[in-house]
Amino acid sequence: MIGKKKIQVLAFICVMATNLFGQEIDLGKLIVHAGSFVRDNTVVNVSLEGLDLDLTNKDLKVYEVKGKNKIPVNIYIEQGYHPRLWWVLSGTTKKGSKRTFQMMLSEKDTSKVSHRKPIVQVNKDIEDLIITINDKKILRYRITPLPAPEGASLLYERSAFIHPLWSPKGEVLTRVQPPDHYHHVGIWNPWTHTEFENRKIDFWNLNKGQGTVRTKKVTLVESSDVMGRFKAIHEHIDLTAPDPTGSKVALNEEWEVRVWNVDPNSAFWLVDFVSSMNCDSESPLIIQKYRYQGFGFRATEKWNDKTATILTSEGKNKTDGNGTRARWCNVNGVSDFGTSGILFMTNPSNYNYPEPLRIWPVGANNGKENVFINFNPTQDRNWKLNPGNQYVLKYRMLVYDGEITKERAEQAWNDYANPPKVELVLK
């Protein structure tokens, strides 16, 4: 907690700043403690709650202090009830070490109007939303329903998924509506075995006509030099409800997707995925245990038993990984640039962490185009979602070309699950 006296001092400093145009006022320090792990281009943040910073006519700037030098740092201020300051701890930071940053407040220079686009750009139109870093495509999110494949049931029409997900060099790593599983759509998060008002609803296998998932609306789109993000509301719709309309919303889900500008050379992407779920009515939704459901990934058609590999944090692979638990799962396969891959990471706050994995084993799907994984918190137990409560699942993806070692995977997961501590020291 920040003491009353310190807040008063800060308020006084802010008033003084209004009389010192062009000068920067020192607000205090941010000390980042690496902790027990080596850090590599790590996302860090600190709460600004309690700091009454009116930035309407002022700029908050952050500099890293290295001896007598002060190096400017790109920052992002997340507004809201609990405001937070985000930035990237660039380069490699040794375990047990600390790095110091300085916060400065200055008047906005309205004489200069910048027409430069943010480094991480989120572009939205009617059909979809695309996130780029320095104009290189990262991912596309589908807003309007993608029509069913020609000749297939109209039930396969669907929105609310990510495809394509591109590697840094431009390889498409996801697949949508493959002929063997029309309901597979890149990266998505539906539930297969559920019970709603005593009805069995399958939101995954669309051809059953029991349920589907649709984007209701996009509620937030933000671009910045540090990260780009969007929020979208999904409706999980019961198509069998005895309702005059023939359908009823069983579950609301908010997706928040963030793409971080973590590497100045754009050698890898870092994508955060957060799913927040709550019941739409007074009726609970029971997600019943089943072998596949939840956060899923269908890989490019280039990948199969011979052209792709899977390795989990517990040393499991495509042969023996199905049904095992893991903190992370690295999927790598051939590409036009040699190989490309995605490191999928789960968060310790998730239900039934570390979640069991569904991995198509060797020989699945007749041995063709058969790379599919999903983190499934309900593979071995039920999960009852009660009205009035919110349920959150978090995942991170590190997207890269070439290969990464097990040690690099561990380091990336520790950055996610055990981030550095940030100490705020006010003047």
Position 230 confidence tier, pLDDT thresholds 50, 70, 90: very high
Domain of residue 388, CATH code: 2.70.98
In a shared domain, residues 222 and 198: yes
Q: Which of 111, 138, 156 is the last residue of a domain?
A: 111
- Are both 324 and 216 inside the same structural domain? yes
Task: Kindly state the average pLDDT of the residues 281-297.
Answer: 98
Integer Cα distance of 216 and 209 in angstroms: 19
Assess whether 179 and 80 both reside in one domain.
no
Angstrom distance (rounded) from CA 110 to CA 16:
19
Within a domain: residue 282?
Answer: yes
Q: Does 19 map to a domain?
A: yes
Mean pLDDT of 368-375: 98
The domain boundary residue, chosen from 111, 137, 154: 111
Q: Confidence class of residue 53 from pLDDT cuts 50, 70 and 90?
A: confident
Residues 222 and 92 in one domain: no
Q: Which residues pair with residue 100 across a beta bridge?
A: 31
Q: Residue 222 and residue 248: Cα distance in Å, rounded?
A: 31
* Same domain? 30 vs 166: no
What tens digit of pLDDT does each residue of 242-280 get? 977 789 999 999 999 999 999 988 999 999 999 999 999
If one counts the domains in the chain, the total is: 2
Q: Which residue shows structure tokens 């309407």?
A: 56
| 54 in the same domain as 178 | no
Task: Supply the pLDDT for residue 109.
Answer: 73
The answer to whether residue 426 sits within a structural domain is no
pLDDT band at 9 (very low <50, low <70, confident <90, very high): very low
Does 297 reside within a domain? Answer: yes
Q: Are residues 214 and 264 in the same domain?
A: yes
Burial annotation 87-118 (CB, 10 A radius, 16+ → b, else e): bbbbeebeeeeebebbbbbbbeeeeeeeeeeb
Q: Is residue 422 part of a domain?
A: no
Cβ atoms 276, 256 nearer than 8 A = yes
For the chain, the average pLDDT equals 92
Mark whether 100 and 132 lie in a shared domain.
no
**Does a structural domain hold residue 427?**
no
Query: Same domain for 174 and 295?
Result: yes
The Cα 294–Cα 188 span in angstroms is: 8
Q: Are residues 144 and 42 in the same domain?
A: no
Q: Find the domain containing 54 and state its range.
A: 4-111
Same-domain status, 104 and 130: no
- What are the helix and strand counts (H, E) for the chain? 2, 28
424 part of a folded domain:
no
**pLDDT bracket for residue 110 (50, 70, 90):** low
**The domain that contains 42 carries what CATH number?**
2.60.40
Q: Are residues 55 and 194 in the same domain?
A: no
Domain closes at, from 93, 111, 129: 111
The letter for the amino acid at 247 is S
pTM of the complete model: 0.92
